[in-house]
Structure 1
Amino acid sequence: MNRVEHVMGFPVSLRVDDVDAPGEAAHAEAAADAVFAWLREVDERFSPFKAGSEVSRYDRGELTADELSADLVEVLDLCEEYRVATGGAFDVRLPGRGLDPCAVVKGWSVQRAAELLTGAGLTRFCLNAGGDVVVSGGPWRVGVRHPEIADKLCAVLDLTDGAVATSARYERGDHILDGRTGRPATGLDSLTVVAPTLTLADTVATAAFAMGAQGVEWAAAREGCEVYAVLPGGRVLRTGGFPTAGATAAA
């Protein structure tokens, strides 16, 4: 079963291979319906670009901390954890800007979506949310886009279960800011993290990218994380356990 929908501002694709026996296709479709319904709910509740979202209402002072949902409390706690861990480089409350927890919400919500699939008894699937991926029951091969050449890969990963996320400048320009300076983070061309969950992989990738070149060592030291980083000029740094099936030089 394959489904693609545009949610939260990017394409989300789902492939489920648990459809061999009669009736399994309908079960997989029902699970997919739940996944996309959840992601649409997240967009309505947590988008800082929607005036009626919980995030926007909290940012305007219309909700107190005691009135927040348990989900948003969890997200904001993760934001604070990474702000402290990066010395302020990762910060969802930059001066002159509204509260924007999207860097945590994306990975967190897609990981929750993957858990809906496993909770429904599905064991072989690939969920790809704008290039950040959760897989189960591999082997799966996941490509990492070259940071400068759109139709080229700089690495191909072999994954069985887990998640991979990349932070880079090639899709949205200098959109990740270093909270310590308020300026765009430009010390890396791209940084890819493989981890057991997309919550971890996506947040670590974004936080490390905000730190610049020093973020590579910081990300590599996070428990459960393997890292592949491309520095300006094409130099590649990767941890020994990064599950590379094939790679080309970035330059």
Structure 2
Amino acid sequence: MSTANELSAQKAQGAAGPYVHVEHVMGTTVSIDLRGCTADTAEAGTAGVIRWLHEVDAAFSTYRPDSAISRIERGELTIGQADDDIAWVLGRCEELRRETDGFFDARAHGPLDPSALVKGWAVQRAADDLTRRGITDFCLSAGGDVVCRGGREPGLPWRIGIQHPYDRAAVAAVLQATDLAVATSGTYERGSHIVDPHTRRAPRAVVSVTVCGPDLGTADAYSTAAFAMGHEAAAWTLSLDGYEAMTVTEDDTVFTTPSFPLADPGQDTR
């Protein structure tokens, strides 16, 4: 993590990064890794990401009694009275519920909780903001959800490690990409928090589902839905349009869709 003094020194030297910031927000750790831009641009972009994610947390947190989501759940605020982002997210949750036959559900546990979409949606919006600022090479990571664009060095794509479902010090796979959103659902980040909304029970047979594609919010929701399906997860991911997936089952079998972007073991590993 670069300190303010380090960033100032890099700016004075005309350095091009990397600029790394780590922030705890939305109940997880978010890392912001920017490459190939000036210190001024990096500082402004990082500040924008941090500000946005804290705004999202304040509006959508189910742990804050003053959040819009908590107030909607208590009947103190209607969706029509909430701001446009709240209405859009809840509308998208309903679309995804229908699309996944109810396996993605903002009320999977009973109370309103759109978190399985919100984190990915918020990080995707942050990535889009960095792009609008002219930052072309970056990687944002938030507790298993990643958006990367450009490369870590000229000619070198980003390499994204997918955490092993049983060993926090190991990776189950490494992806390679220059423009990709990756979301992973499993029990290692928050324990057995994903349930089958139809039964309100934790699914069996699957320990990890990773979905990647163009939009992190959608990938996040799809990975949650697939995980909730249990033994049907791998087959269902084959039907996804524009998204690829890797499913790890309880017996350590790994299923990948045909174009899942696994890194070539012979490529540069720096």
TM over 0.5: yes
Q: Is residue 47 from structure 1 mapped to residue 61 from structure 2 by the alignment?
A: yes
Q: How does 1:51-90 map to 2 (within 5 A)?
A: 51-90=65-104
Q: Is residue 201 from structure 1 mapped to residue 219 from structure 2 by the alignment?
A: yes
Structure 1, 160-169 or 85-94: larger mean CA deviation: 85-94
Equivalent pair of 2:143/2:189 in contact (CA under 8 Å): no
Structure 1 residue 246, shift from structure 2 partner? 5.3
Question: Which TM-score applies when normalising by structure 1?
Answer: 0.92
Structure 1, 63-72 or 106-115: larger mean CA deviation: 63-72
Structure 1 residue 187, shift from structure 2 partner? 2.8
Match of 1:163 among 181, 190, 197: 181
Q: Distance in 2 between matches of 1:6 and 1:192?
A: 23
Equivalent pair of 1:155/1:246 in contact (CA under 8 Å): no
Structure 1 residue 201, shift from structure 2 partner? 1.3
Equivalent pair of 1:227/1:239 in contact (CA under 8 Å): yes
Q: How does 1:191-230 map to 2 (within 5 A)?
A: 191-230=209-248
How much is the aligned-residue C-alpha RMSD, in angstroms?
1.4
**In the alignment, residue 195 of structure 2 is paired with which amino acid?**
L
- Report the identity percentage: 48
Aligned residues: 242
Q: Give SS of 2:191's match.
A: coil
Equivalent pair of 2:117/2:218 in contact (CA under 8 Å): no
| Alignment correspondent of 1:102 | 115
Q: How does 1:113-124 map to 2 (within 5 A)?
A: 113-124=126-137
Structure 1, 1-10 or 207-216: larger mean CA deviation: 207-216
Structure 1, 213-222 or 40-49: larger mean CA deviation: 213-222
**In the alignment, residue 39 of structure 2 is paired with which amino acid?**
A
Q: Distance in 2 between matches of 1:208 and 1:2?
A: 32
Q: Is residue 3 from structure 1 mapped to residue 21 from structure 2 by the alignment?
A: yes
Q: Distance in 1 between matches of 2:227 and 2:149?
A: 26
Match of 1:233 among 230, 247, 251: 251
Structure 1 residue 9, shift from structure 2 partner? 1.1
Q: Give SS of 2:94's match.
A: helix
Q: Using a 3 Å threshold, how does the CA distance of structure 1 residues 244 and 33 change in structure 2: closer, same or farther? A: same
Q: Distance in 2 between matches of 1:246 and 1:181?
A: 40
Q: Give SS of 1:55's match.
A: helix
Instruction: Describe the superposition over 1:28-58 as per-residue Cα deviations: whole angstroms up to 9, x where unpaired.
Output: 1111100000000000011111100000111
Match of 1:146 among 137, 147, 164: 164
Gaps of 5+ in 1: none
Gaps of 5+ in 2: 1-18, 152-156, 266-270
Instruction: Describe the superposition over 1:219-249 as per-residue Cα deviations: whole angstroms up to 9, x where unpaired.
Output: 23121111111011101100110111158xx
Question: Which TM-score applies when normalising by structure 2?
Answer: 0.86
Q: Give SS of 1:184's match.
A: coil
